Chain A
């Protein structure tokens, strides 16, 4: 645990504070204030990302610290989900945004690193960006799955939703989030494979990170097949699949890079 007395650290702490205050305001039935604070947090999160970009002179997606900064820019996804997909849970987005920034603010090393030769590829940004975006959708899906398991038949933020908004119930919201996130997860896996071929000579190297990524993709494949077979009949099992998916994603993103159990080609991401 280390406090960062730098401009970067300050921006991270302001973002965390803004997201947590936004969450508090939303829970206290002050949706307008909550939304404004959420927007403020997003603007500071973008500033933090741009500042890091300027500081390291490459798109900051190289390591876990930079990936956390990227994941915290949640706001456009929240708006897209609410307006286009009729999926709520904005207060959960605020919480997820704050939670992903905590390790960046207190745990991960912020020392700037030069890009090693393997990362100097046109595939670097699309591969990581697509994965990050899919992880955000899958995290939202897991949130709705937990709501469903907790026994909420209707959308979890129905009392907080503005009048006239017809948001989906948790099980359907989970499905819709996975339907949006799954193509991105697939594209991330395929882009990684193509990049592996260009950089290391093999499109599949049986590296721990690759295998965990495959496992997370397969969990969602299983979810989609299971839901196709039974529809809404076993809602709880559907939700368990979605939660299992996000657990495997967390392992893929964090444990594989942080643990010495999984030495492999992706260790520079630590």
Chain B
């Protein structure tokens, strides 16, 4: 930074003197005795002075741009260390708001001052794209929303969350400061479902630290070695319930709402299977067989007699909310939203954020205003078009044409010759 600052000072002082020296070098004096030369110089001098100041101004802009870029590099690294929440607050604070405004202003001044940026469309696209991204970000920020409300009376919720139960609708949005605001329409949740990758897995860990992982397959026996015997998955439950009738308790898969995924597992320890002379397998009488229930939601559940700890794990592939938009008592839009597939309605985006982990009864949506988004996306498009145009499209065709002309690529020559003969 010090180097940059010293170089910046040098540009404002040293380079000016250097240019002045260069400028004064050719300055004629009346002692030369050539009045015509002096007159020409007097006409040219203001133009030269003007040009010198322009150059000085441009250099100052370049140095300021470089200093701001370097500062942003350090700020970004600092932001990465303090975590997303504090970083968001930091980059939206007043000093940083001033920084963003200065950055956008400098980009604008740069475009006006450097004729090359106006002459080369790709460079213009890059720099205007950056201005649009900054403008869109400021427009869509919380402070941007407050400013719009004050200036134009447009009152939109910047961002918040909604929690909606299955079969119900709601329009209340909880903001980051726990304040509650209302949308001008209702969002209803028709259904919420979670989809899993198949198969799920039965994880087994011994007290000695040995581990096994088996895919859930009914009536398949898995060996844990001679010490621990075998395990066999007998049944898979989506919603495990125990029903007690008299003295007997029965495990059932309860239909309807609720979720308690479980496995019924038979553990056979100390049992030895031996081949008899007749070819049939017999079991040794000292074996012990026990039935256990393994629950997805209670992975630490273990019977005191057991030598092994079991857990049932499934990986979520998707969670989907069937949403309805209700306005004046009528359903005006419907969409199944999932991660990467939000709903856009009435100037807001609704995202699948979270869900009820206990029973899958409600969904949590993130609501964000779409203000400024179009500006940001246009800025992205301009930036990408500009960089590819400037660095690739202006350069690579030349390189490829040189490549075609190389003797080491005979097939290109063949194509080229054919193209030439065709054109003739």
Contact = CB atoms under 8 A, between A and B. Distances in A.
Partners in one complex: yes
Interface of A: 83-86, 114-118, 120-121, 179-180, 182-183, 186-187, 190, 193-195, 197-208, 211-212, 214-215, 218-219, 221-222, 225-226, 228-229, 256, 261-265
Contacts, number: 127
A266 B403 CA distance: 41
Interface stretch (B19-27, B231-239, B394-402): B394-402
Interface stretch (B64-72, B217-225, B257-265, B296-304): B64-72
B371 to A, nearest CB: 13
Contact of A206 (B77, B91, B316): B91
Contacts of B83: 208, 263-264
Interface centre among B84, B91, B318, B368 (most CB of A within 10 A): B84
Interface centre among A121, A211, A219 (most CB of B within 10 A): A211
Interface of B: 59, 62, 65-66, 69-70, 72-73, 76-77, 79-81, 83-85, 87-88, 91, 137, 159, 197, 315-319, 338-342, 349, 351, 353, 366, 368, 373, 376-377, 380, 383-384, 387-388, 391-392, 395-396, 399-400, 403, 406, 409
A230 to B, nearest CB: 10
A85 B69 contact: no
B340 A117 contact: yes
B66 A117 contact: no
B70 A222 contact: yes
Majority-rule SS of A interface residues: helix
Contacts of A204: 137
Contact of A186 (B319, B341, B383, B409): B383
9 contacts: A114-B315, A116-B316, A183-B392, A201-B351, A201-B366, A206-B84, A215-B73, A218-B72, A218-B73
A121 B69 contact: no
A114 B366 CA distance: 25
Given A117-B317, A183-B391, A202-B368, A211 B66 contact: no
B317 A114 contact: yes
Given A118-B340, A206-B79, 9 more contacts: A180-B391, A198-B341, A200-B351, A201-B366, A206-B87, A208-B81, A211-B87, A225-B69, A265-B84
Contacts of B403: 83-84
A201 B399 contact: no
A179 B73 contact: no
Given A182-B391, A193-B380, A211-B87, A201 B349 contact: yes
A181 to B, nearest CB: 9
Interface centre among B73, B318, B338, B388 (most CB of A within 10 A): B73
Contacts of B88: 205-206
A190 B384 contact: yes
B197 to A, nearest CB: 5
A222 B66 contact: yes
Nearest to B393: A183
Nearest to B87: A206
A264 B82 CA distance: 11
B78 to A, nearest CB: 9
B197 A114 contact: yes
Contact of A261 (B66, B81, B317): B81
A180 B366 CA distance: 38
A222 B66 CA distance: 6
Contacts of A179: 391, 395
Contacts of B349: 201
Nearest to B372: A203
A197 B72 CA distance: 23
B315 A215 contact: no
B68 to A, nearest CB: 10
A229 B197 contact: no
B73 A222 contact: yes
